[in-house]
C-alpha cells in the first residue's frame, strides 16, 4: 500500500536556524514521484518540488534543499537560515506512475508538519 509519513507534527525554530522536515514513504511501484507542498496561513497549496524515483541527486533551490534516499525511503526537506515567511504547513506527497495500471496522477499526502519560525 502507498503511504506517506511525516512524523513531525510541529516544529518551532528561531529565525536564521536551519530546519529539516522529514518524510518517509511506502510504495510497491518502482516508478513514482515525490512532492513537497507548502500551505501558508492563507490556506492555498504551493508546489515546491517534484522528484522521480530514478533521480536521487539532491536538489538545492535558494535556501531550500531536498535529500532523496531510496535506501531509507525518505525525501527530507531542509530550510537553511529560516525566515518568518517560511512559517507554514509543509506536506510531502507521493504519486505512482502506474506500474500496476494506468497512471491517474493521484496524490497521497502525509499529514503535514507545521513549521513556526519565531522572529
CB of 94 to another protein, least distance (A): 9
Nearest Cα residue to 24 out of 9, 3, 51: 3
Radius of gyration (C-alpha) of the chain in whole angstroms: 14
Cβ nearer to another protein, comparing 61 with 104:
104
Largest CA distance in the chain: 48
Considering the complex, what minimum distance in angstroms separates the CB of residue 76 from another protein? 17
Handedness of CA 69, 74, 75, 77 (dihedral sign): negative
CB of 31 to another protein, least distance (A): 8
At its nearest, how many Å lie between another protein and the CB of residue 104?
A: 5
Residue numbers at the binding site for another protein (CB under 8 A): 4, 6, 9, 32-33, 35, 43-45, 47, 50, 52, 91, 93, 95-98, 102-112
Residue 50 contacts residue 107 (beta carbons within 8 Å): no
Which CB atom, from 86 or from 96, has the smaller least distance to another protein?
Answer: 96
Q: Closest CB to another protein among 1 and 119?
A: 1
Hey, how many other C-beta atoms are within 10 angstroms of the C-beta on 66?
Answer: 20
Amino acid at each position: 500500500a502507498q503511504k506517506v509519513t511525516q512524523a513531525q507534527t510541529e516544529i518551532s525554530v528561531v529565525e536564521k536556524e536551519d530546519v529539516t522536515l522529514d518524510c518517509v514513504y511506502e510504495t510497491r511501484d518502482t516508478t513514482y514521484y515525490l512532492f513537497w507542498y507548502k500551505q501558508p496561513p492563507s490556506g492555498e497549496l504551493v508546489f515546491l518540488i517534484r522528484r522521480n524515483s530514478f533521480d536521487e541527486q539532491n536538489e538545492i533551490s535558494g535556501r531550500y534543499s531536498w535529500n532523496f534516499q531510496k535506501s531509507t525511503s525518505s525525501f527530507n526537506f531542509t530550510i537553511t537560515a529560516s525566515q518568518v515567511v517560511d512559517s507554514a504547513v509543509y506536506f510531502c506527497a507521493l504519486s505512482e506512475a502506474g506500474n500496476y495500471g494506468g497512471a491517474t496522477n493521484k496524490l497521497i499526502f502525509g499529514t503535514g508538519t507545521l513549521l513556526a519560525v519565531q522572529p
